[in-house]
């Protein structure tokens, strides 16, 4: 790295430094454009994702049609993945409806438990004071709530069992609340196991494969994950900007650091859309790491250009570039090794994390040294006037 840097001139001594910013801005536009092609994996969109290790030569459309016909569902999404295929099937609507009914059952079951406890306490108090009309009225109202909760438990469980009938057959709703709870706890689990076996059998009948990974996420849970991850990224940007603002006591460095992290993330998202890397919990982990790497290099530039003395600002920016390129090169080598390992060992999580990290780090080279560094130099010159 030192030999390579020795032959690179100090680009910040040029009179056209401000035009360097055009490059990261163009990458930002490209990232926004290609990010529209990103697909959500099952961890965020909901559905069933099966990654199989296979050497099949069948066309993706042929596989999708065969699986769709076997499972009586819409055509699945077929994507190439390291060593095989990633097949994403839309959530089974019967299981989705059954899950909603199950959630309703458990909500009413909690109400029933609370109502029973309150009714028992009121019954005990009323037994000691039967002339108390207020207690009698409250006990009557509470018993009505107990009956309503029990009625809604029965209705919700009945709906759930009706939706699960294709997987576990007909089941009668017991009259005992405890028996209802026991049946509800096992019915959905048995149905999902039956559906899993059905999906794997359909795939075996269509494609020869040796190993597979199976993930099933409901659409409600997927939306929840996506919403939480959006808040995590938003809070990360807010906290970073506040921290930089506190350190440098100026808006310009804070804006520069936030711009750098945002630009790197958008570039990585655009690369994901272009290369077909799905957005999921694993790839979002890679995006969060990119934010961290971006902040490291951006703060390095801001600190050396604005806080340090001894050389010219251009020389300090060049010195920070040498340090930053060494850091980024080390990270790129590490993630490249992980990416290669993921291809040969067939670990999709490593593939997504390493792929996103590599794309973001390459983008950071342009954002930091052609974007943030010139911004800091221009700000320093204006400040020194």
pLDDT at 385 over 80: no
Residue 40, pLDDT > 80, answer no
Long-range contacts (CB closer than 8 Å, 24 or more residues apart) made by 39-42 = 39/77, 39/79, 39/276, 39/278, 39/279, 40/222, 40/226, 40/278, 40/279, 40/280, 41/86, 41/88, 41/278, 41/279, 41/280, 41/283, 42/88, 42/215, 42/216, 42/217, 42/222, 42/280
pLDDT of 229 above 70: yes
Cross-strand pairs, 214: 50
Residue 311, number of CB atoms within 10 A of its CB? 12
How many CA atoms lie less than 13 Å away from 206 in the CB half-sphere? 23
SS3 content of the chain, % helix, strand, coil (to 5): 75, 5, 15
Percent of the chain with pLDDT over 90: 27
Strand 47-53 with 212-217, pairing:
antiparallel
Confidence of residue 2 (pLDDT cuts 50, 70, 90): very low
CATH number of 2-42+218-384: 1.20.1640.10
Least confident of 124-133, 247-256, 264-273: 247-256
d(CA 322, CA 259): 21
Highest-scoring range by mean pLDDT, 65-79, 138-152, 343-357:
138-152
How many other C-beta atoms can be found within 10 angstroms of the C-beta atom of residue 86? 22
Q: Closest Cα partner for 285 from 365, 356, 217? A: 356
Alpha-carbon distance of 269 to 366, in angstroms, equals: 15
Count helices and strands in the chain by DSSP H and E runs = 13, 4
Q: The tokens 């010139």 sit on which residue?
A: 374
- Is pTM beyond 0.85? Reply is no
State the Cα–Cα distance between residues 96 and 163, nearest whole angstrom.
9
Question: CB of 356 within 8 A of CB of 287?
Answer: yes
φ, ψ for residue 88 (rounded to 5)?
-115, 120
Express as a percent the part of the chain with pLDDT over 70.
93
- Domain spans, the chain: 2-42+218-384, 93-198
Work out the angle at residue 380's Cα, subtended by the Cα atoms of residues 376 and 381, and round it to the nearest 5 degrees.
120
Work out the number of other CB atoms within 10 angstroms of the CB of residue 266: 22
DSSP per-residue codes, 97-145:
HHHHHHHHHHHHHHHHHHHHHHHHHHHHHHHH-TT-HHHHHHHHHHHHH
């Amino acid at each position: 790295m030192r030999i390579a840097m020795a032959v690179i001139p100090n680009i910040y001594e040029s009179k056209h430094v401000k035009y360097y910013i055009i490059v990261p801005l163009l990458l930002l536009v490209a990232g926004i454009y290609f990010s529209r092609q990103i697909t959500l994996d099952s961890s965020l969109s909901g559905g069933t994702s099966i990654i199989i290790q296979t050497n099949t030569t069948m066309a993706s459309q042929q596989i999708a049609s065969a699986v769709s016909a076997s499972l009586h569902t819409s055509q699945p999404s077929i994507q190439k993945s390291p060593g095989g295929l990633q097949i994403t099937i839309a959530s089974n609507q019967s299981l989705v409806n059954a899950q909603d009914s199950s959630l309703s059952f458990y909500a009413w079951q909690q109400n029933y438990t609370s109502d029973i406890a309150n009714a028992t306490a009121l019954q005990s108090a009323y037994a000691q004071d039967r002339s108390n009309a207020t207690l009698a009225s409250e006990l009557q109202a509470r018993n009505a709530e107990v009956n309503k909760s029990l009625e809604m438990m029965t209705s919700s469980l009945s709906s759930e069992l009706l939706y699960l009938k294709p997987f576990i057959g007909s089941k009668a709703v017991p009259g005992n609340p405890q028996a209802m709870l026991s049946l509800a706890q096992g019915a959905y689990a048995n149905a999902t196991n039956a559906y899993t076996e059905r999906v794997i059998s359909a795939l075996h009948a269509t494609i020869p494969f040796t190993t597979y990974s199976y993930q099933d996420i409901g659409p409600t849970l997927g939306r929840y994950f996506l919403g939480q991850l959006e808040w995590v990224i938003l809070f990360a940007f807010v906290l970073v900007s506040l921290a930089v603002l506190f350190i440098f006591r100026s808006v310009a460095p804070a804006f520069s650091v936030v711009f750098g992290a945002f630009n790197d993330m958008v570039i990585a998202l655009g690369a994901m859309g272009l290369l077909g890397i799905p957005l999921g919990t694993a790839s979002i982990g890679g995006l969060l790491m990119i934010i961290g790497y971006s902040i490291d290099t951006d703060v390095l530039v801001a600190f050396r250009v604005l806080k340090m003395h001894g050389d010219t600002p251009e020389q300090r920016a060049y010195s920070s570039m040498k340090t930053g390129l060494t850091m980024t090169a080390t990270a790129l080598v590490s993630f490249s090794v992980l990416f290669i390992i993921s291809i040969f060992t067939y670990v999709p999580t490593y593939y997504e994390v390493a792929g996103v990290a590599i794309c973001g780090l390459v983008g950071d080279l342009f954002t930091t040294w052609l974007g943030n560094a010139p911004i800091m130099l221009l700000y320093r010159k204006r400040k020194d006037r």
